Amino acid sequence: MKIFLKTDAEIELMRQANHLVGLTLGELGKFIKPGVTTYQLDQIAERFIIDHGAVPTFRNYPNPFGGPFPSSICTSVNDVVAHGIPSRDVVLKEGDIVSVDCGVLLNGYNGDSCYTFGVGSVADTVKNLMQTTKESLYRGIKQAVSGHHVGDIGFAIQQFCEKKGFGIVRQLTGHGIGRQMHEAPQIPNYGSEGSGVLLKKGMCIAIEPMVTQGSPLVWLLPDKWGVITRDRKPAAHYEHTLAITDGEAEVLSTFEEIES
């Protein structure tokens, strides 16, 4: 697949789309508590995105293995690594974690980000998983420099997480992003230094480590979307969209609305 380099004007449009994703995740954070269903979160997100003049990109996203994605966000609870479908039957409980992945299309360009939220009081072991996964994201971002390679990003994430005893899911990766939600190149969360696609100024990518507390092996759920850990231990997932520059990468998405 062809890699599209973005102009400064295009990156500005992507910044706006990603800012809206950050606002949406921040809005959802206000409602994440015991007793709330993931379906309710989806309804809040969809209305918020539409009210801000954008389209929820995930809804009706095609699936080569089954039907299109039926919701506006992914809500992956505990041992669900990614692509969890919101449901009236999934009620958040004290001590759960839920990874909320959100994408919007605004003015022709996509934004994409994910954040793992704790529900009430979370066990220290799970907090460690969340903190490690989030830190690995920023370690990967530090390697996203023009002249480096995709493998440098994955190597940084993999080494940091595995040294702490966590698993790296290999079946799911980050990706290029722009006019399409998923563009070339793929951005694995593992790899070797100096390998893979050369990073160039103007590339826009989404880095999204998906890290497990135990084994990295996963199953595809019967709905053909959700991916779950085989050992049923929890997983965390954080994601930023960024633009490659001549120096340090510019992070276009934000966690500020969540963490403020």
Q: What is the pLDDT of residues 26-38, one digit of tens each?
A: 999 999 999 999 9
pLDDT > 90 fraction of the chain, expressed in percent and rounded: 98
Which residue, among 27, 55, 87, has the nearest Cα to 225 in the 3D structure? Answer: 87
User: Tens digit of pLDDT for each residue in 98-151?
Assistant: 999 999 999 999 999 999 999 999 999 999 999 999 999 999 999 999 999 999
Which residue, among 68, 26, 73, 24, has the nearest Cα to 49 in the 3D structure? Answer: 24
**Tokens standing for 197?**
């696609």
Instruction: Give this prediction's pTM.
Output: 0.98
**Tokens standing for 21?**
């994703």
Q: What is the DSSP string of 3-15?
A: PPPPPHHHHHHHH
Per the prediction, the chain carries an average pLDDT of 98
**Sign of torsion over alpha carbons 179, 180, 183, 189:** positive
